[in-house]
Amino acid sequence: MPLLALVLVAGGWGLFTLLARRLPSDSLLRALLLRTRLSLAVPLGVGGVLIWLLGLLPAAVLPLPSPLELRRLLVVLALAWSLSRSRWPLLRWVEGTPTVAALQGRERLALLDLLDKLIRALVAVLLGWQVLRLLGVSASVLLTAGGFGAAALAFGARTIVENGLSGVGLYLSRPFVVGDVIRLPAQQLQGEVEAIGWFHTRLRDPERQAVYLPNGTFISQAVQNLAQIDRRRLQLEVSLRPRDRDAVPAIVAELQGLLAAEPAVDPELPARVHLVGFGESGPLLRLLCHAASADLAAALDLQQRLLLQIGAVVERHGAAIALHRRLLA
């Protein structure tokens, strides 16, 4: 019988290999056959050996399962093992489909991560269900336990269920994905998303410390996704000397022309220069515009050029900067 089991293993391995070689090299079925031939062939041999051993042992020695129960167990184990080994071929195939390939990089990673977690969850359910069967747990017991479990969840495990459902909601709605920088105004917290789990999400704050947040936090609070900023807003304030008041109209007009001629400034969004008041030092000018892209480095370069140009314009009109403040959003 052990020899026959080895023949079954070798025969199954050879059959799956032969079938795979007859398929195109880029075929998903070929990749699945090559990936799962071990997990499908080995249970055949193991099952044959175990059934042979069951026939040798007296029934009263150990409470051994029947050959039928053993075959069911091996089928479930083979299916769970095959699903686990098929994850990477399935993920590569999904990633290569036109619909998924058209997604942005982070959106594509989020979808693949969700598929990976669903496969893992299915494997865990299959194994857990088989373990319960081996322990002799009947369907009526499961239903009764489910009723008590629902009551327990309603009182003691509400937060766990809420975080789990919120994790599913984050995967489906995708307000942010791994790699995005998000901000929670209510908690004054900002960080880069490193991982999204079923129950919690891991952020890396500006201090490079890991922050773990329950997924329910993102459902009950406002979340700002800084990675989805389409334009960077620049607001520059310059204070002149009190005696430079007469030069303000000419300075404002020239700065307005500079904004209109600057290619890095978005022409479709407000770009204005105004006298907004008189501060402690003198006339206060405010320059407001938006960078043409969301890139932070490009916005900082634009801000630097504008500051230098403001200083040059003020000097050309015989004025001087008393104080300046800047705000980049």
Residue 37 lies in a domain: yes
Residue 153 lies in a domain: no
Q: Does 221 share its domain with 174?
A: yes
From 183, 204, 228, give the residue that closes a domain. Answer: 228
Residue 152 lies in a domain: no
What element of type H or E holds 252? helix 248-261
- Tell me the pLDDT tens digit for each residue of 186-203: 888 999 998 888 788 899
Q: Does 42 share its domain with 86?
A: yes
- Tell me the pLDDT tens digit for each residue of 125-152: 777 766 666 666 655 555 555 555 555 5
pTM of the model: 0.51
Tell me which residue range forms the domain holding 180.
Answer: 158-228
Of 119-123, 136-140, 168-172, 205-209, which gets the smallest average pLDDT? 136-140
Q: Does 92 share its domain with 61?
A: yes
Q: What is the mean pLDDT of the chain?
A: 77
Q: Does 217 share its domain with 293?
A: no
In sequence order, what are the residues at sequence separation of 6 or more whose Cβ sits closer than 8 angstroms to the Cβ of residue 212? 200, 201, 202, 203
Residue 253 has pLDDT above 90, yes or no: yes
Q: What's the CATH number where 200 sits? A: 2.30.30.60
In sequence order, what are the residues at sequence separation of 6 or more whose Cβ sits closer than 8 angstroms to the Cβ of residue 81? 36, 39, 43
Task: Give the whole-number percent of the chain exceeding pLDDT 70.
Answer: 70
Q: Does 18 share its domain with 108?
A: yes
CA distance 239 to 86: 66
Number of domains in the chain: 3
